[in-house]
């Protein structure tokens, strides 16, 4: 299944006999909460999902956005109307990060029929509504483990023996700035691959052939096993996992990412433009 859907394709499915459950996952790192924007206007039928509170556990030793409690995540998805065979489409309004986090969690939890709206809310040309829907309770029960997941030791090994991509902005990878986490730099051996390069000027994913060429040049064609991906806290890296799937590569998410890695003073840190 193609992990993304166009706005025109979504409009057709919403008008069809089995419309998808819509998840509005508006989220911006360091920005205002997405709920007021959702209440001001959302795609008809969409349910707001709070990334910080519902798609992540509280910050702590596992980083700024640890994976949520599995039972709690299942309850959130059932509240949104998700069942075992229910098609789901997630969208946001900023680089696909929030939507990809929902997409990855659902896939990891065993739900196959989930896609991201390509281009996000900006691509939608249909009407918006302010009514907050109350969907019929779904029956989805998470079965985690359907997608590969890395811990810190796995990520270190992937950087040494395979390919580990750092999805953050280049200046954070190089250690020139670090506005959020405790230490600047990157995991030794990781390769810089900012998520912004996965999108075109309209915020849509670049064609599969373009993405495949990008990741092949970064080393994905020679990597043994899934490509590892991390970012600051496991959110933007989900967008990179999505781009890799579009391009035809298997990948594994390091959910704790730099916010977990950098909390441990015993973990090595590299700086500069090279993997180190």
pLDDT confidence tier of residue 247, bands split at 50, 70 and 90: very high
Could you give the dihedral angle defined by the CA atoms of residues 261, 263, 265 and 269, in that order, rounded to the nearest 10 degrees? 40
Closest CA to 261 of 109, 141, 152: 152
What's the CA gap between 174 and 270, in Å, rounded? 8
pLDDT at 29: 82
**pLDDT reading at 118 higher than 90:** yes
Q: What is the mean pLDDT of residues 221-226?
A: 80
Residues paired with residue 252 on neighbouring β-strands, in sequence order = 228
pLDDT at 266 over 90: yes
* The pTM of the whole model exceeds 0.75: yes
Active-site residues: which are they?
A: 231
Is 196 a residue whose pLDDT tops 90? Answer: yes
Q: What is the dihedral of CA 94, 24, 205, 10, to 10 degrees?
A: -140
Share of the chain above pLDDT 90, in %: 94
Mean pLDDT of 60-82: 97
Average pLDDT value for the chain: 96
Indicate whether 224 pLDDT > 80. no
Q: In this model, does residue 225 exceed pLDDT 70? A: yes
Query: In the structure encoding, which two tokens stand for residue 254, read together?
Result: 């390091």
| Confidence band of 223 (pLDDT split at 50, 70, 90) | low
Q: Each residue of 40-68: b (16+ CB within 10 Å) or e? A: eebbebbbbbbbeebbbeeeeebbbbbbb
Interatomic CA distance for residues 121 and 32, integer angstroms? 17
Return the percentage of the chain with pLDDT > 70, whole number.
99
Confidence of residue 157 (pLDDT cuts 50, 70, 90): very high
Could you tell me if 111 and 140 are in contact, meaning their C-beta atoms sit under 8 angstroms apart?
A: yes
Residue 146 has pLDDT above 90, yes or no: yes
């Amino acid at each position: 299944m193609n992990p993304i859907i166009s706005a025109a394709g979504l409009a057709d499915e919403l008008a069809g006999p089995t419309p998808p459950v819509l998840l509005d996952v508006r989220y911006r790192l360091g920005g205002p909460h997405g709920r007021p924007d959702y209440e001001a206007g959302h795609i008809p039928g969409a349910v707001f999902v709070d990334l910080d509170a519902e798609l992540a556990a509280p910050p702590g030793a596992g980083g700024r956005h640890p994976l949520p409690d599995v039972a709690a995540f299942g309850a959130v998805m059932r509240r949104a109307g998700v069942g075992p065979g229910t098609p789901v489409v997630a969208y946001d309004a900023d680089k696909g990060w929030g939507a990809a986090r929902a997409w990855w969690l659902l896939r990891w939890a065993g739900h196959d029929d989930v896609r991201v709206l390509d281009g996000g809310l900006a691509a939608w040309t249909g009407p918006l509504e302010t009514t907050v829907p109350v969907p019929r309770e779904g029956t989805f029960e998470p079965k985690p483990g359907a997608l590969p997941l890395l811990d810190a030791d796995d990520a270190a090994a992937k950087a040494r023996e395979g390919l580990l991509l750092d999805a953050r902005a280049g200046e954070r990878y190089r250690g020139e700035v670090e506005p959020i986490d405790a230490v600047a730099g990157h995991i030794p051996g990781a390769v810089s691959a900012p998520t912004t390069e996965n999108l075109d000027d309209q915020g849509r994913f670049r064609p599969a052939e373009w993405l495949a060429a990008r990741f092949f040049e970064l080393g994905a064609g020679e990597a043994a096993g899934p490509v590892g991906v991390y970012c600051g806290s496991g959110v933007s890296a989900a967008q990179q996992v999505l781009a890799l799937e579009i391009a035809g590569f298997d990948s594994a998410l390091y959910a704790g990412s730099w916010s977990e890695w950098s909390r441990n003073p015993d973990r090595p840190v590299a700086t500069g433009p090279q993997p180190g």
